[in-house]
A = this chain, B = another copy of it.
Amino acid sequence: MRKFCKPKALESFVRGLKARRKTIGFVPTMGFLHEGHLALVRRAQKENDAVVVSIFVNPLQFGPKEDYRRYPRDLRRDEAILRKAGVDCLFAPEVKALYPGSFQTEVRVRRLSTPLCGKSRPGHFAGVATVVLKLLHLVAPGRIYLGQKDYQQFKVIERLTADLNLPVKVRMCPIIRESDGLAMSSRNVTLEAPARREARVLYQALLKTGSLIRGGERDARRVQKALETALKAAHGARVDYAELVDAETLLPVVKLRQGSRVLAAVAVYFDKTRLIDNLLIRV
């Protein structure tokens, strides 16, 4: 596995791949890798000649009061995991390599960035869009792989690439879960043991929502209330949001139309740790 910290070195490696007409699959991450990331890597390996993984905890997508400093990091462990997984190239730049003092460009995907996580994390998706666009220019992949856990992020990047005519296919991979259903996340390690046990409430509440709708409930407000109530039952859970939105626009749905696709999406704090999860439901 090749490892680069400098953009220039990565670009020259990528030029080499292009010259040999290799297709490139790209998996952007913030590191502290888990099975969710590895599922993205394996899918990328299946569909491309070469796979590039980036590890970069992007300060631009953290608010001033968020957990940028606390975000878990272990580059040496991540490197070993990727090497073992047969990844071709790891790009792990330092902050100042991507954001020198002269940096002043911002990329926003307006409407899709506003609801859900956008409401409680203003600027978050502008930070995501900006760094992913930079990485897409550096890696120049034919396909980029994103996890469904960050569904809104996927929609933002999908829209970004379409709006800006970027020649890349955006692929979404299913959520990978712990044995009790908790969606895998690098932030899970920051949960204290009691909170970790309670945290399975996110997936359980989402499953109940799915059952309700499959059972014939069509009043979105009632479904949303049930979802919120289920979450609040967990000890120490502070619900940031619990919503039922259109899977394309991410706007709230009022009536659940037969045949439509909706997203049940939740964000819940346990102490300082904010967890998210979601479920796509065909009504």
Contact = CB atoms under 8 A, between A and B. Distances in A.
Interface stretch (A131-139, A180-188, A255-263): A131-139
Interface in A153-168: 159-160, 162-167
A60 to B, nearest CB: 12
A30 interface: no
A171 interface: no
A100 to B, nearest CB: 9
Contacts of A109: 104-105
A171 to B, nearest CB: 19
Given A11-B167, A133-B164, A164-B134, A111 B104 contact: yes
A107 B106 contact: yes
A92 to B, nearest CB: 15
A107 B110 contact: no
A138 B165 contact: yes
A165 to B, nearest CB: 4
B108 A163 contact: no
A179 interface: no
A116 interface: no
Contact of A106 (B102, B110, B134, B165): B110
A84 B128 CA distance: 45
Contacts of A165: 7, 11, 134, 137-138
Those 3 A-B pairs whose CB atoms lie nearest each other, nearest first: A105-B163, A104-B110, A137-B165
17 contacts: A11-B167, A102-B159, A102-B163, A104-B109, A104-B111, A104-B159, A105-B108, A105-B109, A105-B110, A105-B129, A107-B107, A133-B164, A134-B164, A137-B164, A137-B165, A137-B166, A138-B165
Interface of A: 7, 11, 102-112, 129, 133-134, 137-138, 159-160, 162-167
